[in-house]
Chains A and B, each alone.
Chain A
Amino acid sequence: MKHRRGLTTVVGGVFFLIVIITAASYLTYSMNLFENFSENVFAAGQERENRKKEAFDISKLTIENNKINLDIHNSGDIPVSFTRLWVENMTGVDEVYRFDLNSTVTTGNTVQNILENIPFIALPTENYKMKLVTDRGTTKEFSVNASTEPLHLQLFALPEAVPTNFKSTILLSVTNNSTENTIYTNIQPILSPISLGAVAEFEGPIPAPHSVLEKGETAIFEWSYRITGDDGDKIRFDASVLNGVPGNIVSKVVTVQIIEFAEESGSSLVSKFLTAESAPDDVLIFHKENFDALGERQMFSSTPEDNVGEIIDFNSTSAIFYTNTDANVTINIPAGNWNTILRYISSPMPESLMHAGLDRETMSYHFETDLDSPLDTTTNTVMTLGTGTNRPLWNSVGHQGAGAYEFSGNDFASIAINDNNDLDSSPATTSGWFNADSSGPSSDQVIYYGESSSGNDLYEIFLDSNGYLVYRIDAGNPSEIATCTSSVNYRDNSWHHFVAIMPSDNDCELYVDGLLEDTDIHGGNGAIALTGSIYIGARDNIGTNGFNGLIDDVIHWDNYALDEGTDNEVTDLFNTNYGVDGHLLDFNIKIVDEFGNDLGNSNKTITQTFDVSIPYSGDLGEYAAPVSDIWGQFNFSAVTSEAKIIESGERLMINMTYAPKNSGNLNMKMVIDDTDVVSGLGNSFLQIPSPDRGLPGYGAYDNSARGTISIFNPGPTDNWIKYQSRVVFEDEDTGEPYAAFIDNADGATLSPDQDSPPILANTTAVYEFERPRSQPGNVASNLIPEGRYQMFVFLDGYDSAGNIFLQTTPLGVVRVT
């Protein structure tokens, strides 16, 4: 028995072992499967996570030359690869295009002109829906040249009632309130004036068109208009967007009206652009006055007093402005945007080329705006573009981010010849930038051409059949021909700068991109006198030997040869940026102590930003004598994420300092405190997040004596002020008002029976007012106590044209002592 039991145990044990091993194998297999599954889950989860991290934005979309320029910014955390673009022409159903893309953009970067190579002709008038697809399946759809849903449109006329011939502004606000997350691009506004008696001339819009409008974003288009008509005449403005949903239109009626009430006219005797509503506490105007401003200039919420502003030349000084100090007030400024608005003008030439007299440039075209007759900044000559199929196409970001003209082989521009471009005697210089198409013809392509009346004398700059740049001076005789030729083929789709110098008759020097390419010295006296027209982009007015590519910054000196040897003038001109990087300016905005000293506290600094690029702005004015309304505008924005506190006794300071470039430095000038600067946003100022109370101004009034104010009349009419005109002080804390009648004008007493003497156009009158009380004119009522007040002047009067006016002018915060 003992033996049998042992044997069966062994046999049973073997089977048991087999079962155990089988179970263990199954368990191990299951575990492996589970591990593999977990890895797959993890990998799939990672891919889903990557899809979530993938994000991109359309940073720019424009249509130029029937090509779509689309820039995409990778705003996600991982690289994005674009695989496909779908385009639907919504003007005709069934027209759908599919383009395969192969473009990758890394994190935080922007890929430009992503659609550069797709064979698609986009018309600016047609309506497209596009969709970009990435290799992870992310899609983004956007609408081009159209809105597929009604957009939220608002139209503002500022003001809605104007005197005849008044110039003012129409604003169209377009908000993308799409319920389908649609992004609209290349939004083009349409403004249609419909006369109801009055007629309008208007310019704009600015911008036209708006590049990208994401959901929730708002685009604002601005037109400037001038209305003429009789009292009561109206004009209706209908605004919509191109290819918009039918009926998605807003209207505004503007009425011509004799000014009777300030709140109706919005005009102002003292200030043309800021009314009581538009000079709130968050707008700090740069003033020219410097008393109590630590030797610099004042900055406070008050409109300019007159049209005798000040021009700050950054070449010689920094622009520093301080608010006033007040020992009893703490001001809280919440987090938000700090916007500095500069009205400025650029120097036409870098410093080395700022010559006077005959050595000055005599003709200068930068093509910053698209005009049939582009502006010569010297105002010496007149250019006219070809028309119809001979008109070059303006490219708004053609060169250095600013405008240039594109010539397509038969386009041209002509410049009437006069003493400023006829050569007739040496020396002379012609310079410019060109960007020749690599696909351009293997024949002559003219950039600049002029000839004498007989046609025997020539002056020309062109690309020859090899793409070499040729500068040719031909005075008629074989011995009087100077030809300078480069050794490089410039048909390469790149920008190049040329300086063609005729130091003396029959001699030439040719510089390309700052380097001397060729010289040809003949000597002799073969003067060339050009007649008729200079042609840009072709040899004549039918486009013979037309240029294929872009041309910009054509400058001519009719009596001067640029000096590279001593003054590096060629290099300086080559390095000059007539585009978006024209100037560099440092901005420093901070809170300082009452003496202007740094408080050593980082929380008192709003921004300290160096080398901010400021675009060239010189097309509309002459730098040497800047007059009204020629000023460009630049906005610098800084954002604070926390509130800023101006403690009692502290000031707010802004310091703008020019950062000159080593070569090609263009100077700039800023205008401040001038009522004649009315276009755009008006004067130069700093806009801060709305403070809980007004920053201290520079006005002060001693309540123990009568007060004095000065009022400027900018014309064109003479004005009279009537009794009942008054000054009003509104307590900053309680809002309690105190007022006083203006009872004396330039020594003459005002009364119910006596108006002021005339305030002649463009003169200033001094007015006196009685001591302000709770009831003006009632000496038994309460006298204004000491404190901080918002001060306003109400003027009731009439002008020499028979119009009456009643208007309000804010003077900002004043202290009553």
Chain B
Amino acid sequence: MTMRRKRRGLATVVSTGILLSAVAIMGSMLTAWSNSIFATEQHQLNTVYAEGVNKLNEFLVIEHVWFGNNPSKFVNVTMSNVGNVGLNVTKITLDNSIDKTSLLVTDGGIVRGDDFSTEIGYNWTTTEPIEITVTTEKGTIYQTFAMGP
């Protein structure tokens, strides 16, 4: 009777330890997994939110377009940032169905309330309207049309 009681006690402790370990390991894995999932989701959510809000608050106006001849034909485009956040103009495209020119802009950062002008060499005509497309770093596209005088 005494021997049987001793063996059972040891097995109980061992089995309890195994069980506890198993539960702890599974629980830790589950917790780590769920935290990882949530962290990933949170990061994605943050990114989407930031992009969405910035796009929402970004507002560019193509304020004025004028045409010059000297020394060669060019188009001057002036843009104003009338939104609530700074923005970065990355590309300006001029397209009049005859000639298409894209200018990659590297210094197109415009703080809120400021404006940005650039001159683009372009063989404009007085008969073909030009589609002017401005793209910002966030991928927002602004368009207007103008025709040479």
Residues of A participating in the B interface, judged by any CB pair closer than 8 Å: 3-4, 7-8, 11-12, 14-15, 18-19, 22-23, 25-26, 29-30, 33, 36-37, 40-41, 43-44, 47, 83-84, 86, 88, 90, 93-94, 96, 98, 129, 131, 133, 135-137, 139, 148
Contacts and interface: CB of A to CB of B under 8 A. Distances in A.
Contacts of B61: 133, 137, 139
Nearest to B24: A11
A15 B27 contact: yes
Contacts of B34: 19, 22-23
Contacts, number: 99
A239 B53 CA distance: 57
Interface in B118-147: none
Contacts of A37: 49, 52-53
Which DSSP category, helix, strand, loop or mixed, fits chain A's interface?
Answer: helix
B31 A86 contact: no
Contact of A33 (B20, B35, B45, B113): B45
Contacts of A23: 34, 38
A64 B24 CA distance: 91
Contact of B42 (A15, A26, A90, A139): A26
Contacts of B52: 37, 40
Contact of B23 (A12, A84, A133): A12
Interface stretch (B11-19, B87-95, B96-104): B11-19
Contact of A131 (B56, B59, B64): B64
Interface in B32-77: 34-35, 38, 41-42, 45-46, 49, 52-53, 56-57, 59, 61, 63-64, 66-70, 76
Interface of B: 12, 15-16, 19-20, 23-24, 27-28, 30-31, 34-35, 38, 41-42, 45-46, 49, 52-53, 56-57, 59, 61, 63-64, 66-70, 76, 78, 80, 82, 84, 113, 149
Contacts of A84: 63
B31 A93 contact: no
19 contacts: A4-B16, A7-B16, A11-B20, A18-B27, A22-B31, A26-B41, A26-B42, A29-B42, A33-B45, A36-B53, A40-B53, A40-B56, A43-B57, A44-B57, A83-B80, A90-B149, A93-B149, A94-B69, A137-B80
Nearest to A18: B31
A44 B69 CA distance: 40
A387 to B, nearest CB: 38
Given A11-B27, A19-B34, A93-B68, A139 B82 contact: no
A94 B70 contact: yes
Given A23-B38, A26-B38, A137-B59, A93 B69 contact: yes
A94 B68 contact: yes
Contacts of A30: 45
A41 B68 contact: no
A16 to B, nearest CB: 8
A88 B80 CA distance: 19
5 smallest beta-carbon distances between A and B, as pairs: A15-B27, A137-B61, A137-B82, A94-B68, A44-B56
B64 A86 contact: yes
Given A11-B24, A137-B80, A88 B41 contact: no
Given A4-B12, A4-B19, A133-B64, 5 more contacts: A22-B38, A36-B49, A43-B84, A88-B66, A135-B113
Given A4-B19, A11-B23, A12-B23, A33 B49 contact: yes
A142 to B, nearest CB: 13
Contacts of B84: 43-44, 47
B67 A133 contact: no
B104 to A, nearest CB: 24
A18 B28 CA distance: 10
Contacts of A14: 27
Contact of A93 (B20, B53, B67): B67
A33 to B, nearest CB: 5
Contacts of A136: 82
Contacts of A148: 149
Nearest to A180: B147
Contacts of B41: 26
A41 B52 CA distance: 9
A475 B61 CA distance: 71
A8 B76 contact: no
A20 to B, nearest CB: 10
B65 to A, nearest CB: 10
A37 B51 CA distance: 11
Contact of A8 (B19, B46, B78): B19
A8 B23 contact: yes
Contacts of A25: 38
A30 B78 CA distance: 39
B76 A96 contact: yes
Contacts of A3: 16
Given A11-B24, A33-B45, A133 B63 contact: yes
Contacts of A83: 80
Nearest to B58: A44
A4 B80 contact: no
Contacts of A19: 30-31, 34
Contacts of B19: 4, 7-8
A86 B66 CA distance: 10
B27 A12 contact: yes
A139 B115 CA distance: 14
A351 B136 CA distance: 72
B101 to A, nearest CB: 20
Which one of A7, A30, A33, A148 has the greatest number of beta carbons of chain B within 10 Å? A33
Nearest to A20: B34
A702 B19 CA distance: 128
Nearest to A25: B38
A7 B56 contact: no
B94 to A, nearest CB: 17
B64 to A, nearest CB: 5
A62 B42 CA distance: 61
A244 B24 CA distance: 89
B31 A15 contact: yes
B136 to A, nearest CB: 15
Contacts of B78: 98
A11 B28 CA distance: 11
Nearest to A135: B82
Contacts of A15: 23, 27-28, 30-31
Contacts of A41: 56
B49 A96 contact: no
A544 to B, nearest CB: 46
Contacts of A47: 59, 84
Contacts of A36: 49, 53
A83 B63 CA distance: 11
Contacts of B149: 88, 90, 93, 129, 148
A590 B63 CA distance: 52
A8 B27 CA distance: 11
A30 B44 CA distance: 11
A19 B28 CA distance: 10
Given A4-B12, A15-B31, A133-B64, A40 B82 contact: no
